[in-house]
């Protein structure tokens, strides 16, 4: 639904959006373009906009790495005493 991919229609992609919405409406959703020119899905009953989940596989921060090392050290020490 990238606006740059429009062929034989305007940047709002009325034809493509219409086809997509014909399928989505059965599930209670609709596609729309936001001011940032990106296509989003909105749940019609709640008006909630679907967004991507944060990546759970992001790199650890420095403080998270330090805490992880501390937890590993504690775990190793406990295993040695048991």
- Average confidence (pLDDT) over 23-41: 92
CB 16 within 8 A of CB 1: yes
**More confident: 29 or 57:** 29
The predicted-structure confidence for 50-71, as pLDDT tens digits, reads as follows: 887 777 788 889 999 999 999 9
Contact 27, 17 (CB under 8 A): no
Summarize the confidence of residues 15-44 as an average pLDDT: 91
Position 16 pLDDT exceeds 90: no
* CA neighbor of 30 nearest in space, from 13, 48, 5, 53: 48
d(CA 51, CA 29): 13
- Mean pLDDT, to the nearest integer, of 31-60? 88
What is the average pLDDT score of the chain?
Answer: 88
């Amino acid at each position: 639904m990238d606006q740059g991919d429009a062929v034989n229609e305007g940047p709002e992609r009325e034809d493509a959006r219409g086809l997509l919405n014909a399928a989505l409406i059965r599930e209670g959703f609709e596609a729309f373009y936001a001011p940032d020119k990106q296509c989003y899905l909105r749940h019609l009953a709640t008006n909630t906009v679907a967004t991507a989940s944060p990546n759970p596989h992001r790199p650890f921060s420095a403080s998270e790495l330090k805490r992880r090392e501390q937890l590993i050290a504690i775990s190793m020490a406990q295993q040695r005493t048991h």
